[in-house]
Amino acid sequence: MSGSRDLKAFIELPYGVHANHPQWVPPLKLERRMFLNRRMNPFFTHGEAEYFLARRDGRVVGRASAQINHSFNDTHGAKWGWFGFFELYEDHEVAGALLDAAADWLRSRGMERMVGPADFSMNDESGILVEGYELVPMLRQPWQPPYYRTLVERAGMEKAMDLLMWNLEVRDRSRVMPGIEELAERLKPDHGISVRRMRRLHLRSELDRFAEVYNAAWSENWDFVPYSKKDLDSLALELQLVFDKHWAFVAEREDTKEVVAVALTFPDINQVLARMKGRLLPLGWWQFVRKGKIMDRVRVGFLGVKPEYQHTGVAAKLYIEHFQAASERPQSGGEMGWILETNTAMNRGMEGMGGRVVKRYRVYERRLAQ
C-alpha cells in the first residue's frame, strides 16, 4: 500500500463493511489518520509496520497491517510479529490472502510467530470478538460480526489467548463480598497506605506514577511491553479528552510517598463517537461538546498493584473507591478489562465484586516456518 489515496481507502473500509451493523462505533477519521501516521504515533519509535489492502475487481474488500514491536521482542527475548487493523467483507479468500501477506512480510524480517489482531499494541484495540456480539463496544474495544472468527480460523490461525471483559455495576454494594470491604477498611491503619485521586493539572507526572506500577505489576503478563517516555507523552494527550479525576486513583505509602497501586477508569467516549459518525463536521463537534451529558458508562482500563503490596488489600480499596465515584458521577457502571483468561487473581476479584463476563476477545497465532 502506498500514497494518500490508499491510506484513505484503508481508513474508510470499515465504514462500508459495518454500514449495516448498529453495534459498530465509527472512529473519527481524523484521529485514525493521525494514529496511522508514522511520524506522529510513538509506536514507530520502537516498531515498524506495513499496511495491506485487498482488492477484488478494483474494489477494496479488505485490509490488514503487519508490525514488529521491537520493544516487545527485546523485553521477552522473542521473535514475534503481529497483525492488526483487520477488516474485511465476508470472503475467505480475502482473509487468507491478507493473513498470508502479513505473514510473508513478518517472515522476511526473521519473525517466528504471527500474533493478533492488535492495532500496533494490545493496549489499543485487540482481539477478535467471540462472545458479546449484541453489545456495543466501549472505549478501545473492537466489534466484529461472527464471520470474522470463522474466516480467521479457516485461514489456519489458532487460539493464543482470550481477553475477558467484565460487566460491573458500581452503585449496588449489596453484590460485593463482605471481605472486600473489610480489607479496604484495614488498608490505612494496618499498612499505612492511602488512596487519592489523580490531578488533571499534573496528569503527565501522574502517568509516570502509573508507568512505575504498570512496569512492575504487568511485567510477567503474556502481552507486556513497558511504557516509554514518548508513549506516556502521547497517552497524556489522549487522556485529556476523557480524563475525569473522579475515576483515576493513586495509592501511596504515607511515610515515603511511594506509589504502590493505580487505577485508571474512563468515561466511555464511544457513546459520543457513535453519534458523531466518524466526523467532526458538520455537527459532530456539538456531540463532543455535550459529552458530559451523554456518557453514563465507564471502562476500567487499568487496575494494578506492585507485587510486593498485593497482600495489603489495596486492590480492594480501589474497588470500593469506584463505588464512591459512582455516587458522585453520572456513570453507574460499565466494564472492566480486558483481563487475560489466565489472570486468576483478577478474575476472582471481579467475581467477588459481583461482576460477570460479558465479552470475550480472542487473540490468534500462527507459527512462521523459516
**The C-alpha cell of 200 is what?**
488533571
369 domain-assigned:
no
User: What is the DSSP code (8-state) at residue 365?
Assistant: E
The domain containing residue 82 runs over which residues? 3-162
CA nearest neighbour of 166 among 22, 364, 362, 352:
352
For residues 118 and 82, the answer to whether their CB atoms sit within 8 Å is yes
**Listed residues 162, 181, 201: the one ending a domain:** 162
Whether residue 91 is found in the same domain as residue 202: no
Lowest mean pLDDT among 43-47, 110-114, 182-186: 182-186
Kindly state the average pLDDT of the residues 156-167. Answer: 96
CA nearest neighbour of 103 among 61, 95, 8:
95
54 domain-assigned:
yes
By CB atoms closer than 10 A (0-12, 13-18, 19+), residue 163 is: buried
Q: For the segment 211-257, what is each residue's pLDDT rounded down to a tens digit?
A: 999 988 888 788 788 888 888 998 888 888 888 888 999 999 999 99
Note the pLDDT of residue 279. 64
Mean pLDDT estimate for the chain: 89
- Which residues are paired to 264 by β-bridges? 248, 302
Whether residue 131 is found in the same domain as residue 218: no
Residues with Cβ < 8 Å from 275, sequence gap 6 or more? 284, 287, 294
Is residue 292 very low, low, confident or very high in pLDDT (cuts 50, 70, 90)?
low
Note the pLDDT of residue 281. 43
**Listed residues 116, 144, 162: the one ending a domain:** 162
For residues 222 and 355, the answer to whether their CB atoms sit within 8 Å is no
366 domain-assigned:
no
**The C-alpha cell of 360 is what?**
470475550
For residue 117, whether the previous peptide bond is cis, meaning omega lies within 30 degrees of 0, is yes
One-letter amino acid for residue 201 of the chain? L
89-94: Cβ within 8 A, 24+ apart = 89/17, 89/61, 89/62, 90/145, 90/147, 90/151, 91/56, 91/61, 91/62, 91/151, 92/151, 92/154, 92/155, 94/54, 94/56, 94/61, 94/62
Query: For the domain that residue 80 is a member of, what is the CATH number?
Result: 3.40.630.30
370 domain-assigned:
no
Is residue 303 very low, low, confident or very high in pLDDT (cuts 50, 70, 90)?
confident
Whether residue 246 is found in the same domain as residue 302: yes
367 domain-assigned:
no
